[in-house]
A and B are shown apart, each in its own frame.
Chain A
Amino acid sequence: MPYIPHTKDDIKKMLQSIGKNSVEELFNSIPAKYRLKKGALNLKEGLSEYDAKQKVEKLASDNTTYPANRCFLGAGAYYHFIPSVVNHIVSRSEFYTAYTPYQPEISQGTLQSIFEFQTMMCRITGMDVSNASMYDGATALAESVLVAYKYKREKKKSIVVPSNIHPEYIEVLKNYLTPFGIKIVLTPFDTKTGEIDINAIKDHSTDLLAVIVQSPNYYGIIESNASKIAALTKELDAVPVNLVIETTSLGMFKSPRELGFDIAVLEIQSLGNPVAFGGPHCGVITAAKDYIRNLPGRIIGETKDIDGNRAFVLTLATREQHIRREKATSNICSNQAFVALRTAVFLSVTGEDGYKELARTNYTLSHYTKDQLEKSGAKIKYKGDFYNEFVVEFSSKDNRDKLYNGLKSSGFLPGHKIGEKDLLVTVTEVNSKTSIDEYLATGRRYAN
């Protein structure tokens, strides 16, 4: 069958039926000065395949790449070891698809992988239900506020967001929630511990819809009052939401459900996904059962086929266009299937013991790094306990930048510059003790 989108005749007919003379006329509403004129791009002659390949290889060789053990950068995207079995399994052609197929007749493998993924997400968060995943952690967080908004029957419109959560997530919240008229109240945090100031939440109890607690927070600190905040939020008739961006941490700390949260939002890049140009990322919303009908996206369920065999189907998609038509309240029509699949394979080969050990290794290595830095006279900004990231405070911007540039020229990614004169340092299991000691020794050469 020839694939011809439309012939000149088709175009002519279409133009006639809408009363236009040319395709260009369709764009007349855009002022002429903004319209691209033919030939304006001044494109060069095409290249042969071989020439194009050489050109791209040359461009690629201009990139600076850092070996894993020399990367001390995190701040929302984490360098973790990915067992080769992950790439091997997800590269099987059965999983190749440009789109997530949901037809149970032909997609049992994909549906089962999503079902198992959801089960794993529930197990690490302690929640009853998980959606099939969505775009990324930040948009999942914004969607979770809409879950709370619908759960509370759209009556309350104010959310408390402590200012120690990831700044880019706050930007996405503003972008996503402002059109709904939902007010974002940024509350201060304790500048000594780096933890949420629980009193600042109490001050905003009117019209309170939800409180967001990120733990470990943007500065790597474990929120030691998380369960108190969750309880207080419920007392104020609002929904407590737990955001976990560094999801390896759940192998070590109490689950969001144990802490008393109703909703847990995850970013799962850490679990089996690389940091190629900062991604790919993938968000998940998990929740207590009461919230299930308000979850955006899809939920895969287990059932039996007509012969009584175990089978998997798209079970719930209560807010989407194909079921709610013009009354849809979410336009998330698929999931981040490939990243979710990688995560499911990663967790299945890591296992419960491996997952716990991974978290402990991150904790131990980062605390070793912090202790050594303190011994060398570095100032650790916040006193609260942390997972695998912490903030080093310098005496001046110049001193920080001098150390940063020195480490960088020595082949390290030193961390993430934050604030006036601080550096957010991340240590994961990929940073061996030897590479940490080299990082520290190199740092001392550039420190004042």
Chain B
Amino acid sequence: MVRSKNFFMKFYLALIIAFLYIPIAVLVVLSFNDSRSRVVWGGFTLEWYKTLFHNSDVVAALQNTLTIGFGSALIATVIGVLAAVGIDAMKKRSYSLTLGVGNIPMLNADIVTGIALMLWFSRFTNLGYVSILLAHVTFNIPYVILSVLPKLQQMDMSVYEAARDLGASSVKAFTRVILPNIFPAVVSGFFMAVTMSMDDFVVTYFTKGAGINTLSTMIYGELKRGIKPEMYALSTLIFAVVLIVLLLVNYMPRIRQKQIQRKLQNRKAAS
């Protein structure tokens, strides 16, 4: 009975994972489909992977997506980490006020955030690359804070004071003592921000103006006319790269640990 319960649990888990990944599998299949139609299988081809980088529109949209993704995440991480350290030191009232107002872009409807920023930006300047970047930084900062602040609160701040006591300047104490402690949270906040930026459609759609596209808005525009098969190839590529990076990041430490353990065991056995 225990075994069947276990089987049921694993089955459910597999079902959810399948639900999350079936659409991706569809796109991967389409990326190898030698037919411009989405519903007809025209045989296997690598054509779309070859033509992908010859299409200057696609390359430009990819560039925009990547530079905005990483750029906005980087800016958001710098501002967010400083903010988290600052917020951590605040008294209760300014603490909850700052967090409350600061979380608006994360909790508010994307469509409202997008429209509000669009109205605001278009007062001063033409919409374009910069307005998208600023908008992405805006909704990314809360994710960084969300990731970093709990780590800071868990941390014993007396280590900072100890560092100061031992003669470290406040900057040194921050970079040498606090930063190493919260670094994993900073990285995951950065990663989350890149993900949110790359995944965003709505805010970009409203703040982009004419003549510039990220992958999302480009594909949205193509929806009615028919999506270029290169897009399937591109998203398959992006997915594969991210998957490999994640697997490496996640399994490398464990593999190394196992290697070290084995080495130790061998040494023990030898002695």
Bound pair (A, B)? no
Partner-B contacts on A (CB < 8 A): none
Partner-A contacts on B (CB < 8 A): none
